[in-house]
Amino acid sequence: MKILKKFTPLFILIILTLSFLLPMSQCSAGLLASSSGMTDQTDALRGSAGFDPNTSIADVIATIIRVVLGLLGIIFLVLLVLGGYQWMTAGGNEDQVTKAQDRIKTAIIGLVIVLAAYAITAWVFTNLPFNSGGGMTGAI
């Protein structure tokens, strides 16, 4: 058992290293064999990854904003659940109840800020003329 405990970090490191290196070697080997120049390699990589070559920079920015706002929504939910759990397990301790209420209030204020950022971003991408809407027609 001591031997397993001693070598477990080494095995984990080897598995992680192989899991990162093997897919990269297979992917690059297939792309390099079928392409002749850097542009061809980039186009082949973009096509194999499922990206549209006609995607504008505004579409990329809109996607990044959409992902960030989604992650912030998840963080809000986690903070709200943690605040509720802390409140439920306070057991009548006023300090813990106050901390839980403050956490819930802070999470709600953060949600309001995220929703305001969403509204501003949606307005900017649909109303400003820099790239005919930026791919954010409708909801982000």
Residues 10 and 33 in one domain: yes
96 and 39 within one domain: no
What are the Cα distances from residue 106, in Å, to 34, 93, 113, 123?
A: 54, 20, 11, 26
Same-domain status, 30 and 76: no
- DSSP structural state of residue 92: T
65 within domain boundaries: yes
Do 64 and 24 fall into the same domain? no
Identify the pLDDT of residue 63: 81
Domain assignment of residue 137, yes or no:
no
Q: Is residue 135 part of a domain?
A: no
Q: In this predicted structure, what is the pLDDT of residue 134?
A: 47
Residue 11 included in any domain: yes
Residue 110, domain extent = 57-127
Whether 122 and 64 map to the same domain: the answer is: yes
pLDDT value of position 130: 61
φ/ψ of 65, rounded to 5, equals -65, -40
Residues 62 and 95 in one domain: yes
Looking at residue 16, what is its pLDDT? 72
- Domain count of the chain? 2
Q: What is the pLDDT of residues 12-52, one digit of tens each?
A: 777 777 776 666 555 554 555 554 677 777 777 777 776 77
Q: What is the pLDDT of residue 62?
A: 77
> Chunked in runs of 10, what are the mean pLDDT values of the chain (140 residues)?
69 74 56 61 73 74 83 90 92 92 93 89 78 50
Whether residues 123 and 88 fall in one domain: yes
Q: Return the amino acid letter for 135.
A: G
